[in-house]
Structure 1
Amino acid sequence: MKTLTTAAGTTPAAISDPYRPAFHYTSERNWLNDPNGLVYLNGTYHLFYQHNPFGPDWGNMSWGHATSEDLLNWDEQPVAIACDEHEAIFSGSAVFDEFNTSGFGTAINPPLVAIYTSAYSDASPLAGRQAQSLAYSLDEGMTWTKYQGNPVLDRASADFRDPKVFWYDGGAGRYWVMVAVEAVHRQVVLYKSADLRSWDFLSTFGPANATGGVWECPDLFELTVDGDPEDSHWVLIVNISPGGIAGGSAGQYFLGTFDGVAFRSKSTVTEGLQADASRMREYGWLDWGRDYYAAVSFNNVPDGRRIMIGWMNNWDYAGSTPTGGWRSSMSLPREVRLTRVDGQVLLRQKAIDPFAGPEDGGFRLGARALAPGVTDLPVTAAVARIDLEFSPGPAAGVGLVLRAGEAERMLIRYDTTDGMLRLDRRESGHVGFHEAFPSVESVAVPLQDGRLRLRIYLDRCSVEVFAQDGLATITDLVFAAEASTAMAIFADGAGAHLVALDVVGY
């Protein structure tokens, strides 16, 4: 297995903090939240993010910065865009202005342009407002200059934020499109621009589906269905907090059309602010866990791939998580695609695999009947990729025990009685730091040919579960004791079979 590095550039063995991730990005120290400005340029992926340069709690919002050539090994860079006495630098996006439409660069050296939300402080003439501003870089994202004409788009609103900008080239013309939100109105607002400086209103979308909290961090992109260029849909991402499917923060998605002016959803279940909470499971959710939020995608990725990253935390308890001088990490990057299953178009997610390539050792079990009860495994892991396939048969349930110790464990269980996959972290270790943290997450997962396939990425303070090749995912934080690394499989009743189990880790 390849040697993995952290943001600080150290090998996992050199890390003293038992919760510091081995293969998820986190800043070396201080607070981190929403991914921002995701863009690929000249062989390098740029991850900007909400960051407090001065402490492990939310505040002094600036853009942190990390770079990678493979989306797995990240180098932390200096703070990219810093707050000042007039504004905090809230979430946004970055684009490669290849044709220098903004005029910030030249034809020979076109700029990277960041479009971010200025959250104006009491010291500013625009105190209390949120408006959209620009900064540009002429050295591939290493240094940034704020545009003197900021803000470039001001609706005189206190909650107008999180612009995602992309280049549109379609029937309506060729121009930049901004997708932002009026957060408390649960409304997506769209604008267009020829030069990134002057913006014209296009349309609005929403409220729709989940509206139990503010809308944040939208994204809009087109994907083909199973690679068919004649069959495509536009995907609108809207993150919401609170009001997520598992409680607190979450991301939802809509499928529809975009004609360069308006997004029209084909997957809206309920409209308006009085949505029926009993229909929450009918909505499109990016993830069914409690710790995948503010997910947005990279601009400019080669070959038209759509790769997303989310913040691996939840606003219910983000300020209370029991880490050291750092707080929060990013999810694994995920390539997202559309696929058709039983006539329904669904989002499929596949993580960029930190264990890909030559692998040393590992543990494998082949096909066998499962005895009722718990079967301990002769392998331990706090950091691993686990591939698991069950044929539950007539058993009431099957599952996996992870991070087990003297008085703690995490359960991943499939119940055949209701077809639900559940992740139970109520006894997973350090759960008492916030009343909302002990929880059970669940998602409906139909068996395929009588089988359940799981790919699980286990890191020092998290677990990401991909079911049925990424048709459903559950992402949760888990703060287990360092010594709690035991694993087991179980079956409730007779007739269940293990098809295969593979564990790669250290």
Structure 2
Amino acid sequence: MSDAIDPTPAFRPLLHFTPPKGWMNDPNGLVHHAGQYHLFYQCYPDDTVWGPMHWGHASSRDLVHWTHRPVALAPDAHGMCFSGSAVVDWQHTFVAECEITTVPRKAVCGTLRADMVTPLVAFFTRHVPGESPELDHQCQAMAASRDGGRSWQTCDTAILDNPGLQDFRDPKVFWHAESEHWVMILTEGQQLGIYRTQGGVEWEKVSVFGAEHGAHDERAWECPDLFPLPIEGSRGEQEGDVDRWVLMVSVQRCGPAGGSGTQVFIGDFDGVHFTPHQPPETVTWFDLGADCYAAQSCSDHPGERLVIGWMSNWLYAHETPTGDWRGAMTIPRALSLHPDEGGEGYVLRQAIPEQVRRSAGALDALVVPRRPAPGSVLELGEAQAALTEFQLQLATGAAVSLRPFGDDSLIFRLERVETGLDVTVDRSVPDDLYAGAEAALAEHFSHQTHHHLPSGPRVACQLLRDSCSAELFIDEGRWVLTELAFPTSPEAMTLSVERGEVGLFGASARHW
């Protein structure tokens, strides 16, 4: 939800963040500061297609109600403002205490007055386009704000110049307490470069990761992130929870449903090297759907690790039928890490944060049969933005279909097989949109994908729908599928029993 006046209500989400107008893609600089969440994002306010990149800005106290702020960073003589990250400079490593003050009041050098706040520092890629990709130039830049993100001062000179790479972008910066260094991880084409600094001036390259790991296509990896997560249920010796490190990075053309996707590696990080626990050929997706890209976590949040992704896909992002705005963010997700069933690896789970769930206007128990017969069609909620939660008990051979919009624009099919759960996504463009659909939307938006999940017979599900999207959380968020959809006349969400013995328990619905 946002404070924007909406001139084009068609498909505008109620719960998911969208720009007031123009184009939006990657989330940037997610940071928690002075009691507020700040969401920066790649945007081009003057058109609904990708153009000279700015950093848009919004803030929220609850991850639901967003206030649009003026553009934080705009292109200048030094180039466009590509993706990056933001931190709270609580040590004054990057911004001297007297360097930036709250306008119009000044502070005596060395004195932190009550009307000043600890600075926010944004790290981003300056991109100077050339006549060909070989002539493009990308370097890392920095901007700082001493007034809670209302105004920004950028450094004219690069903080990390390009060593001669075509793709050198998307810096994620974080503090690594064990080595007492600030660390920067960024994309260098088909691998990631890891840099660090103590004094905030000279960045030293210390390692690389990824050239022989995970999924690759003909385009560069993008938007890396690296952060620790405690292993749920374990305790370290005199050090609290045992941590593992989660590395996320996005691919542009080989995602799990075609096109864009975000992959995950779980391992160890000593401040210099990231060492994954999985074999190089293993690919683990953060989201199995078509529309979760450039997922980024929130810096400096005192609680759970929160992540937001761009809810679109580069195959058709420029052609979605949304009027004078284009682009949306996924629902914020709280991450947790658990040992897997074999005890040799880890499972990353995603949950809708409690503060988002509590913001719903109502919580209703759904009156549905516990043993619905084959052929049954059950309504699960009809609000514009609604969350339905339930548990399925599926006998081998049983199958159900979930229709987030009550029609065939998007269908999730779940079938129990002897070795687990088969999930099929079937998505189409409604006939009335096909007539005006541009080539990429008509070619790539409709798709059918299949996933085999090693799940038991009882499956916890959460289905969150909004005006043009559905996010299905399976097995307490072990798997998530995010899909855009553009239904002609959305109706109530439904669950259809296609065949077999099905149990349905604990069904409830929230709406906004």
Please report the TM-score for the alignment, with normalisation by the length of structure 1.
0.89
Where does structure 1 lack aligned partners over 5 or more consecutive residues? Answer: 271-281
Of 205, 211, 220 in structure 1, the residue corresponding to residue 209 of structure 2 is 205
| Alignment partner, residue 23 of structure 2 | 31
In structure 2, how many angstroms separate the alpha carbons of the residues matched to 1:310 and 1:366?
A: 33
Q: 1:378 to 1:164 in 2, by over 3 A?
A: closer
Does the CA-based 8 Å contact 2:360-2:510 persist in structure 1?
Answer: no
| Alignment partner, residue 465 of structure 2 | 458
Does the CA-based 8 Å contact 2:429-2:486 persist in structure 1?
Answer: no
2:174 maps to amino acid: F
In structure 1, how many angstroms separate the alpha carbons of the residues matched to 2:397 and 2:372?
A: 10
| Alignment partner, residue 296 of structure 1 | 296
Does the CA-based 8 Å contact 2:88-2:121 persist in structure 1?
Answer: yes
In structure 1, how many angstroms separate the alpha carbons of the residues matched to 2:409 and 2:168?
A: 42
In structure 1, how many angstroms separate the alpha carbons of the residues matched to 2:30 and 2:401?
A: 36
Where does structure 2 lack aligned partners over 5 or more consecutive residues? Answer: 99-109, 237-241
Instruction: Give 1:85 deviation, angstroms.
Output: 4.0
Matched pairs, number: 476
In structure 1, how many angstroms separate the alpha carbons of the residues matched to 2:296 and 2:379?
A: 38
| Alignment partner, residue 444 of structure 2 | 436
Q: 1:83 to 1:423 in 2, by over 3 A?
A: same
In structure 2, how many angstroms separate the alpha carbons of the residues matched to 1:144 and 1:91?
A: 16
Instruction: Give 1:461 deviation, angstroms.
Output: 0.4
Instruction: Give 1:484 deviation, angstroms.
Output: 2.2
Instruction: Give 1:425 deviation, angstroms.
Output: 1.6
1:335 maps to amino acid: A
Spell out the pairing of 1:365-384 with structure 2 (5 A cutoff).
365-377=367-379, 379-384=381-386
| Alignment partner, residue 273 of structure 1 | none
SS at 1:101 equivalent? coil
The reply to whether residue 493 of structure 1 matches residue 509 of structure 2 is: no
Q: 1:33 to 1:133 in 2, by over 3 A?
A: same
Does the CA-based 8 Å contact 2:44-2:50 persist in structure 1?
Answer: yes
1:228 maps to amino acid: S
Instruction: Give 1:188 deviation, angstroms.
Output: 0.7
Does the CA-based 8 Å contact 1:131-1:157 persist in structure 2?
Answer: no
| Alignment partner, residue 18 of structure 1 | 10
SS at 1:310 equivalent? strand
In structure 1, how many angstroms separate the alpha carbons of the residues matched to 2:77 and 2:376?
A: 59
Of 449, 462, 472 in structure 1, the residue corresponding to residue 479 of structure 2 is 472
In structure 1, how many angstroms separate the alpha carbons of the residues matched to 2:415 and 2:88?
A: 47
1:162 maps to amino acid: D
The reply to whether residue 64 of structure 1 matches residue 56 of structure 2 is: yes
Of 185, 191, 211 in structure 1, the residue corresponding to residue 195 of structure 2 is 191
Residues 446-470 of structure 1 show CA distances to partners (whole Å, capped at 9, x for unaligned) of 443x212110110000001111110
In structure 2, how many angstroms separate the alpha carbons of the residues matched to 1:378 and 1:179?
A: 43
Runs of 4+ in 1 over 4 A off after TM superposition: 427-432
Of 262, 268, 273 in structure 1, the residue corresponding to residue 273 of structure 2 is 262
1:299 maps to amino acid: S
1:214 maps to amino acid: A
2:145 maps to amino acid: S
| Identity among equivalent pairs (%) | 34
In structure 2, how many angstroms separate the alpha carbons of the residues matched to 1:336 and 1:428?
A: 34
SS at 2:373 equivalent? coil
In structure 2, how many angstroms separate the alpha carbons of the residues matched to 1:112 and 1:419?
A: 45
SS at 2:177 equivalent? strand
User: Alignment RMSD, CA only?
Assistant: 2.2
Q: 1:357 to 1:294 in 2, by over 3 A?
A: closer
Instruction: Give 1:95 deviation, angstroms.
Output: 1.2
Instruction: Give 1:117 deviation, angstroms.
Output: 0.3
Instruction: Give 1:287 deviation, angstroms.
Output: 0.2
Of 402, 405, 413 in structure 1, the residue corresponding to residue 404 of structure 2 is 402
Does the CA-based 8 Å contact 1:34-1:310 persist in structure 2?
Answer: yes
| Alignment partner, residue 135 of structure 1 | 143
2:223 maps to amino acid: C
SS at 2:127 equivalent? strand
Instruction: Give 1:64 deviation, angstroms.
Output: 0.4
Instruction: Give 1:328 deviation, angstroms.
Output: 0.5
